[in-house]
Amino acid sequence: MIIDIKYPVTWSEVTKEHLLTLAKLMNRKLTREELLFDFLCKINGIKPRLKEEINEDSLQARFYFKSKKHGKFTMLAETVREACEQLAFLVETVGLPECPILSVHRKLHDVSFKAFYFADAYLSRYQSTGDQNLMIAMYKELTGVTLKQMSPEDITAITIWWCGVKEYLKQLYPEVLKDGEGASEDKTPADVLHEILSVLNKNEPYRNKEILNADVHAVMHSLNNIYLTAKK
């Protein structure tokens, strides 16, 4: 029986469902090999009956599986290993999957600079404190919706996606988001925001509200051009 297993090979192919599955497995603290194998099985709706074993008829190593669709079947161990290695990007790289929040575009189109900035600040504080309320605040900042609670896999999925967002923005606007140039420890997010607004408002502070409500890409593009000009 030929079984057609399917799986993403780039971050752009990772769907919300894939991301939530990955997040749930990451929260189980599995080894790299266990995580990739379990991910492959779960997104294809298959369950291992026996892991790698030599088939006496063919003398080839095989995995034994079962599924509701196909019943019991085997797959060459080499095929399984190759699939898992093609999935290794999930744990070895940072990329931009589909956003786990349905109402938010994966690349933050139509998201305001204010929403981006404070969402990023909330996530950063969550990573330092583990306070789930900060993730709820982040979700509200991006969507306007207040949740009572968030599941651990939702939090992990949003964190994975946000890391991809930051990497994507860093590539687009390298002068704004530079590697190794985080905010100074003696500056609060409010201090940093005030400096950004001072750069953009041209000594007209009444424009701050307009800047905060502008599209994040428009603000980032302007900042990037200003910093590039200042370097010349």
Question: What pLDDT, in 10s, does the model give residues 126-173?
Answer: 999 999 999 999 999 999 999 999 999 999 999 999 999 999 999 999
What is the three-class DSSP state of 174? coil
114: Cβ contacts below 8 Å, ≥ 6 apart: 212, 213
- CA 28, CA 209: separation in Å to the nearest integer? 43
- CA 161, CA 95: separation in Å to the nearest integer? 8
- CA 9, CA 33: separation in Å to the nearest integer? 16
pLDDT at position 71 is 87
- CA 193, CA 187: separation in Å to the nearest integer? 10
Q: What is the CA radius of gyration of the chain?
A: 22
Angle between the 32-43 and 16-26 helix axes, to the nearest 10 degrees? Answer: 140
Residue found under tokens 């019991």: 72
Residue found under tokens 């095929």: 79
CB-based contact 1:70 (threshold 8 Å)? yes
Token digits of residue 209: 């509200």
- CA 35, CA 81: separation in Å to the nearest integer? 13
219: Cβ contacts below 8 Å, ≥ 6 apart: 113, 200, 211
Question: What pLDDT, in 10s, does the model give residues 59-78?
Answer: 578 888 888 887 888 888 88
- CA 221, CA 219: separation in Å to the nearest integer? 5
Q: How many CB atoms lie within 10 A of CB 16?
A: 16
Across 49-53, 71-75, 88-92, least confident range: 49-53
Question: What pLDDT, in 10s, does the model give residues 157-216?
Answer: 999 999 999 999 999 999 998 765 544 456 788 888 998 999 998 888 889 999 999 999
What is the three-class DSSP state of 99? coil
pLDDT at position 126 is 97
- CA 114, CA 145: separation in Å to the nearest integer? 16
Provide the CA 44 distance to its chain's centre, in angstroms. Answer: 21
Question: What pLDDT, in 10s, does the model give residues 98-127?
Answer: 999 999 999 999 999 999 999 999 999 999
pLDDT at position 202 is 86
Provide the CA 13 distance to its chain's centre, in angstroms. Answer: 12
In the chain, the percentage of residues whose pLDDT exceeds 90 is 70
Domains of the chain by residue range: 11-92, 113-231
pLDDT band, very low/low/confident/very high, at 51 (cuts 50, 70, 90): low
